[in-house]
Amino acid sequence: MVREVLSKSSEIPLRSVSLSADDLLTIIESKHFEKVTARNDGMVFDSFEDMKKNKALLAGQPNVDCGDISISFDSYLRRVWIYKFTNESFGLAKSIAAEITQRKTIFDRAKDKQKYFMIPLFLIMVSSSLGPLAVKTDDQNYLKYLKNISDYSIIPTVLFITLYTIFYYMHYIRKTVYYRPTEGFLRRNLEKIIVAVVCTALGIGIKALFDRL
C-alpha cells in the first residue's frame, strides 16, 4: 500500500491550469465516485451523466463535488478541497490534482513560477531604463556608457511585456475549463506558435541590440 502522511491542510492548490471538459470528465470517471454533482454559471448538474450530456455548459469556472472531495476552478481559488479528511479521500484528492497537473501547458508551469523571473525582469527593465534619467552630466563617455546600459533594457522590456500579456490572458480571459467539439490546426498548435513568436521576437531584439553596439 502506498500512503502519505496526512498534513493539517485540507486542500491541494492547482494554481494556473486550463483543462478540457473531456479531460475533466475522464479524470472524474476513472475514480468511480458514487455521486458527482457540479455547478457552473448558474447551472446545476445533478449527476455525472448530466455533465457528460452537457459538456459545453461546463465551460468556464465550474465547481465539481465528488463525495467528500470538491474540485474548484475559480480564477482566484483553483484547488481540490477535501470535506472529510481520511486516507482514502486524501489519496483520491492527490490523484485528481496530479492528473490535472500533468495536463498543464508550459505557460501554466511558467505562470506558477512567474515571481522568480518577472520580478528580476521588472527590476532590470526599470533600473536600466530610468538610470540615465537620474544622472545629469556633460561627460560624453559617461553618457555613452549610460546609453549602452539603456540599450540592454530592450530585451528584458520586450520579454516582460510579452510574458505579462500572456499571463494576463491566461488569468483573466481564457476559460479554466473549456469545451471544443473540434480543434483546428491553429488551436492544436497554439502553444508552439506562441513559443515560436516569442523566440523570434527575442531573436530580433538581440540582433538589433548587437547591431547598435
- Name the percent of the chain lying above pLDDT 70: 69
What are the residues facing 84 on neighbouring strands?
Answer: none
Helix, strand, coil percentages in the chain from 3-state DSSP, rounded to 5: 55, 15, 30
What is the grid cell recorded at 150? 539603456
Q: What average pLDDT does the chain have?
A: 80
Taking the C-alpha atoms of residue 101 and residue 18, their distance in angstroms, rounded to an integer, is 10
What is the DSSP annotation of 166-198?
HHHIIIIIS-SEE--SS--HHHHTHHHHHHHHH
- 43 pLDDT higher than 70: yes
**Quick check: 25 and 52 in contact, CB under 8 A?**
yes
Question: Cα-flanking dihedrals φ and ψ of residue 22, to 5°?
Answer: -65, -45
- Which residues are CB-contacts of 55 (< 8 A; sequence separation ≥ 6)? 21, 22, 25, 179
What is the grid cell recorded at 67? 463525495
- 65 pLDDT higher than 90: yes
Nearest alpha-carbon partner for 95 in 16, 34, 4: 4
Q: Model confidence over 181-201: pLDDT tens digits?
A: 766 565 556 666 766 776 776
CB neighbourhood size of 51 (10 A): 23
Nearest alpha-carbon partner for 105 in 60, 173, 21, 170: 170
Helix (H, G, I), strand (E, B) or coil at 113: coil
Q: Model confidence over 100-147: pLDDT tens digits?
A: 999 998 889 988 998 888 888 788 777 766 655 555 555 555 555 555
Distance of CA 102 to the CA centre of its chain: 13
- 95 pLDDT higher than 80: yes
